Structure 1
Amino acid sequence: MDPVLVAAGTAVVGAMATDAWQQARAAVVGLWRRAGSAEAETVEDELAQVRVQVLAARADQDDDTEQVLVSVWRLRLRDLVRRDPALAADLRRVLDEELLPALDAPDRERTRAVLMNATASGHGRVYQSAGDQHINES
């Protein structure tokens, strides 16, 4: 799955537990409105319901439930962008300008998308890692 979609789904659910949720929710619903989707009102209602679940999961330290909700919103956002690929740039903007700033520092660090791009020509090699990397060549 596209790293921006992964980060955005995580950030939507993370933002539900913050004081900045109203602005983040408006930005997310705005994506559906820009797509001209009749689902915008339904999405707004679903976000309110999921927020209750997220707050309960955090109160109960139920990481499993929160991860399921993150997966659901990653898929919802993926489906939206598949129906209207032009929304990918809007989603990135919402992630950067609305969702990430709404998160506390630990959630923001967990959410950041890692975007890497490399090109090798000839017999060149490219090694990329978002964490530890060990290369043993003989």
Structure 2
Amino acid sequence: MDPIVLAAGTALVGAMATDAWQQARAAVVDLWRRVHADQADGVGSELDAVHTRILTAREAADDATEQALVGAWRLRLQQLLEADPSLAQDLRRLLDEHLVPALPREEASQVPSVVMRAETHDTSRVYMAGRDVHIDER
């Protein structure tokens, strides 16, 4: 699963339990409206339903339900990204500008993040990966 999806799914569900949820929700629905306008209202309704479930799960200290909701939204975001890989920047912006700022500091520090930068000169090569990489240059 794409690292940005892992982070966004975690932050999205975490933001649902905060006072800043309505602003984060609006940003998620706006992303869907730009990409799949016909699905935006349905996504908004789903977010409202999950918001209620996450509040109930947190009140009951039900970590299993919370993790299931995180997994469901990670899958949903992964499908969105697979359908249009150019959305990675939009998803990163959603994460950085709306989801992570909505989280309490201790939760925000637990959102996985991968930042990679590289610079090459002349005939050098750079190999970057968010996970395992195997390079065979025979």
Q: TM range, normalised to the smaller chain?
A: 0.7 to 0.9
Q: TM-score, normalised by structure 1?
A: 0.81
Identify the residue that residue 80 of structure 1 maps to in structure 2.
80
Identify the residue that residue 29 of structure 1 maps to in structure 2.
29
Aligned 8 A contact 1:50 1:69 in 2: yes
Letter in 1 for 2:77: L
Letter in 2 for 1:78: Q
Distance 1:87 1:74 in 2: 15
Q: TM-score, normalised by structure 2?
A: 0.81
Identify the residue that residue 49 of structure 2 maps to in structure 1.
49
Aligned 8 A contact 1:29 1:44 in 2: yes
Q: Give 3-state SS (helix, strand or coil) of 1:113's partner.
A: coil
Identify the residue that residue 134 of structure 1 maps to in structure 2.
none
Identify the residue that residue 15 of structure 1 maps to in structure 2.
15
Structure 1 segment 58-69 matched on structure 2, within 5 A: 58-69=58-69
**CA deviation vs aligned residue, 1:12-31 (integer Å, no higher than 9, x gap):** 00000000000100111111
Aligned-residue CA RMSD in angstroms? 2.3
**CA deviation vs aligned residue, 1:8-62 (integer Å, no higher than 9, x gap):** 0000000000000001001111111111341111100000000000000000001
Aligned 8 A contact 2:5 2:78 in 1: yes
Runs of at least 5 residues in structure 2 that lack an aligned partner in the other structure: 119-129, 132-138
Distance 2:4 2:40 in 1: 21
Q: Alpha-carbon deviation of 1:117?
A: 6.8
Q: Alpha-carbon deviation of 1:96?
A: 0.3
Q: Alpha-carbon deviation of 1:86?
A: 1.9
Q: Is 1:40 matched up with 2:8?
A: no
Q: Alpha-carbon deviation of 1:116?
A: 4.8
Letter in 2 for 1:9: G
Distance 1:26 1:79 in 2: 20
Runs of at least 5 residues in structure 1 that lack an aligned partner in the other structure: 119-127, 130-138
